[in-house]
Amino acid sequence: MITTIIICLLIGYGCGCFSTGYFVGKANNMDIRKEGSGNAGATNALRTLGIKAALITFLGDAFKAIIPIVVYRIMFADKTAYWELYALYIGLGVVLGHNFPFYLNFKGGKGIAAMGGIIISIADPRITLAGIIIFVSVVAISRYVSLGSLIVAWLLPLNTFLFYKESPVFLHMMIISFLFTILAYLRHWQNIKRLLSGTERKIGVKNK
């Protein structure tokens, strides 16, 4: 099991290291990590480059999680016990690669779009649909992308709790699921402080 976990993490990390926002920025003669919030994610791409760049960044970051997990499901789901656990490890590797790409001095994004791809690939469709509705609603009402992100960061633990309670690897899956939430909150720590102080920038407000 340990060997398989390491392989899954390495594959995920390799896929996650494709920093869509960074390459979109370079295509526009910009290092997105030196603009706006300094984050190489979709929200900063929206603020610095516009909606088209943000959409490309979001889809790229989501699909770098979707593709390896779906390929794994197709190839090994019927042959491997507890494939969902290994899929979570692939996803964890993707988020780690996205957040800490080695060739960019470990300065990447915050992992929410990648987590969205993991949820789409692994979670029950009802969880995925609920996550989309909740995220869109929270952002539309509050205009805080960070707040919506922090809420949907709980979807993987919720999915594991609701649908894998009878699994022999339930506790293992819960621990890994909570790691996604912890990583999201750590990467959003400055956003959390700004939310609490009322200084968080709302969506639609351009960088000065």
Residue 29: CB atoms within 10 A of its CB come to 6
Cα(108)–Cα(205) distance, integer angstroms: 22
Confidence at residue 140, expressed as pLDDT on a 0 to 100 scale:
94
Residues 6+ apart with CB under 8 A from 9: 89, 90, 92, 93, 96
* pLDDT average, residue stretch 24-45: 87
Looking at residue 208, its pLDDT comes to 47
Q: What pLDDT score does 207 carry?
A: 47
pLDDT at 204: 67
Q: Give the pLDDT of residue 67.
A: 96
pLDDT score of 81: 76
pLDDT at site 39: 83
pLDDT digits (tens, 9 = 90+) for 99-129: 999 998 888 889 999 999 999 999 999 999 9
Whether 53 and 46 have beta carbons less than 8 Å apart is answered as: yes
What does the block give as tokens for 14? Answer: 């390799």
pLDDT(161) > 80: yes
For the cut 70, the answer to whether the pLDDT of residue 205 exceeds it is no
Average pLDDT over residues 173-185: 97
Residue ranges per domain, the chain? 2-197
Sequence-ordered strand ranges (E) for the chain? none
Q: What is the pLDDT of residue 206?
A: 53
**In 3-state terms, what secondary structure has residue 134?**
helix
Binning pLDDT at 50, 70 and 90, where does residue 169 land?
A: very high
The pTM of this model reads: 0.91
d(CA 85, CA 98): 20
What is the rounded average pLDDT for all residues in the chain?
Answer: 92
Instruction: Give the model's pLDDT for residue 108.
Output: 87
**Per-residue pLDDT for 82 more than 90?**
no
